[in-house]
Amino acid sequence: MKTPTTVAGLTRRVVDTVRGIDVLRRAGLAPFPRVDEGLRSLITARRYGPLAGAVRVAARRDATAVGIVDEQGPLTFHQLDLRSNALARAWAARGVGQGTTVAALCRDHRGLVLTMLAAGKLGAPVLLMNTGFAKPQLTAVAERENVRVLVHDEEFAELLGDITGVDRYLSWTDSGDGSGTEPTLDSVISAADDRTVPPPEKPGGLVLLTSGTTGTPKGAPRPKVSPLDSAQFLDRIPLRVGEATYMAAPLFHATGLSQFILSCALGCTVVLRRKFDPETVLRGVAEHRCTALVLVPTMLQRLVDLPAQTRAKYDTSHLRIIFVAGSALSPDLGNRATELFGDVVHNLYGSTEVAVATVATPEDWRRAPGTVGRPPVGCRVALYDDNDRRITEPGVTGRVFVGSGLAFDGYTDGRTRDVLDGLLATGDVGHFDADGLLFIDGRDDEMIVSGGENVYPIEVENILVDHPEVVEAAVLGVDDDDFGQRLKAFVVTTDGALLDAEGVREHVRANLARYKVPRDVAFLPRLPRNSTGKVLRNELS
């Protein structure tokens, strides 16, 4: 989403650029006084794209530095660069090049990383498929995006069975050398030349998919990213050069992908695991002395729910950042995480389309639990009412619009989101408090109108999870002859809980207005969620 070319807009861009350079300097990405090295890195990133460029720069900086650690062991940035050269050359020999769409359905491991790197070096866009999607969704997306190369883990072969007319490669096998019908990435790489690949005419970019809770997920391309846009994360999240990041969030989602690229740019070691397990995360953080942990709220919930004796086995004292994004972080969960790990929780609000909107630092969270914070350098956030008038007073809920250098330019099918004053709609509603901190009140299409009163589910849900016997909760509006809609709560309780429906209603009644009390209460063993922790409300009834 491009900033309008007005005098005010140009002035803002100059100020943001100066501030951004200073942010990069503090993080170690602008190597003063070695301006020549900084310019060389910038040129490399522009030629190969942010990820392939970052790995090449890191490999040149220190050939022995470990880039990733997965279940097969470590790979240095130099090894990543050489192996992706070989894969790129092998694919080029088969006609893969500028504009050829490469799709990847992989868990987090070296195969997915090498796929992104090799495609970037050829100018081929990479479509990152969600491992939680159903077979019809994957088939429809592959056809719409004109996929010509398909890289996948062996476990997903059946899900991709209806996709035809593509070259297939196995990125991870659980049966030794795979089925034998498709080449593995390892076999292709070992037989190819690993010399440097000439830069493509232009970087291929990455295509992310929307959550896809209903219908066919939309593609949100990221054709290019300026290295200066990294400041949007680093301004409020103190990642630094040469540290270690544990990546629990999936790389196919904007949360994991953005922090993976940024960690590579910083020359950090990134620890990857194919599947999430809370104790394995703590073990990995301790073993690799990770300073940053990237995850979604449901993962954080499982970490804090571990028994105290389990957490005590692992030294997490090096952890300076718990980066949380992907879905709403409740005040209760954020407070519990802060109590256990210290003032390290950084709560990012954004979306696949707008990328970064705001970040709540630990100081913000202490002041106002539940906040998503303030816009970092290079970002703008504004609220508008239903008549497209800008809201400036605190405490008034409006539609959230965001301006960011990382925002997309539209979906691959030609559609886009509403734009006001050069800002892109997020689809959420929220309000600012008197200190200028943003709070998200819910989705603009999830508002419940009950008896003429407006209710946003997240407010009721946050109150419910504050109950000591409630693990998670979701609130929907159901049809009602008298009130139009009434509230129904879906509640997951702790083991051995004695809480009943009336206890749920009484807890809400003691904290919120009467019209926000759910009349119906259903108890479930768990809530249906997608891979980033968003509740699949269409599966609740």
**pLDDT tens digits for range 12-22:** 665 566 566 66
Position 1 pLDDT exceeds 50? no
Q: Are strands 101-105 and 73-76 parallel, antiparallel or unpaired?
A: unpaired
Is residue 513 one of the residues assigned to a domain? yes
Task: Tell me the CATH number at 107.
Answer: 3.40.50.12780
- Choose the final residue of a domain: 200, 224, 248: 224
Position 413 pLDDT exceeds 90? no
**Angle, nearest 10°, between helix axes 501-509 and 457-465?**
110
pLDDT digits (tens, 9 = 90+) for 138-182: 999 999 999 999 999 999 999 998 999 999 999 999 876 555 689
* Count of domains forming the chain: 2
Cis omega (within 30 of 0) on the bond before 33? Answer: yes
Structure tokens at 301: 């919930």
Choose the weakest-confidence range: 177-181, 199-203, 374-378: 177-181
Domain that holds residue 129: 43-224
Beta strands in 365-407 (DSSP E): 379-384, 390-391, 398-404
d(CA 121, CA 106): 20
Is residue 59 one of the residues assigned to a domain? yes
- Choose the final residue of a domain: 203, 224, 245: 224
What DSSP string describes 31-49?
Answer: -TT-HHHHHHHHHHHHHH-
Predicted pLDDT of residue 342: 96
Count of alpha carbons within 13 angstroms of residue 1, beta-carbon side? 27
Burial-class residue 350 by CB neighbours within 10 Å (0-12, 13-18, 19+): buried
- When the pLDDT of each residue in the chain is averaged and rounded to a whole number, the result is 88
pLDDT digits (tens, 9 = 90+) for 264-285: 989 999 999 999 999 999 999 9
d(CA 461, CA 384): 25
d(CA 541, CA 536): 11
Is residue 313 one of the residues assigned to a domain? no
Tell me if 209 sits within 8 A of 129, measured CB to CB. yes
Helix (H, G, I), strand (E, B) or coil at 172: strand
Q: Are strands 470-480 and 484-493 parallel, antiparallel or unpaired?
A: antiparallel
Closest Cα partner for 523 from 471, 477, 450?
Answer: 471
Summarize the confidence of residues 366-376 as an average pLDDT.
95
Tell me if 283 sits within 8 A of 303, measured CB to CB. no
Position 443 pLDDT exceeds 90? no
Helix (H, G, I), strand (E, B) or coil at 363: helix
Task: Tell me the CATH number at 469.
Answer: 3.30.300.30
Predicted pLDDT of residue 225: 55
Instruction: Indicate the pLDDT class of residue 34, thresholds 50, 70 and 90.
Output: low
Highest mean pLDDT: which range of 61-65, 235-239, 320-324, 530-534: 320-324
Instruction: Indicate the pLDDT class of residue 334, thresholds 50, 70 and 90.
Output: very high
Is residue 219 one of the residues assigned to a domain? yes
Position 468 pLDDT exceeds 70? yes
Please name the amino acid found at residue 269: T
DSSP lists the bridge partners of residue 391 as 383
Predicted pLDDT of residue 228: 58
d(CA 258, CA 253): 8
- Choose the final residue of a domain: 202, 224, 246: 224
Position 203 pLDDT exceeds 80? yes
Is residue 70 one of the residues assigned to a domain? yes
Each as own residue / partner, the long-range contacts of residues 494-500 (CB below 8 Å, 24 or more positions apart, any chain) are 494/468, 494/469, 494/470, 497/469, 497/470, 498/469, 499/467, 499/469, 499/470
Tell me if 498 sits within 8 A of 489, measured CB to CB. no
d(CA 164, CA 277): 34
Is residue 308 one of the residues assigned to a domain? no
Is residue 509 one of the residues assigned to a domain? yes
Residues found in the chain: 541
Is residue 52 one of the residues assigned to a domain? yes
pTM score of the predicted model: 0.86
Position 4 pLDDT exceeds 60? no
Tell me if 100 sits within 8 A of 122, measured CB to CB. yes
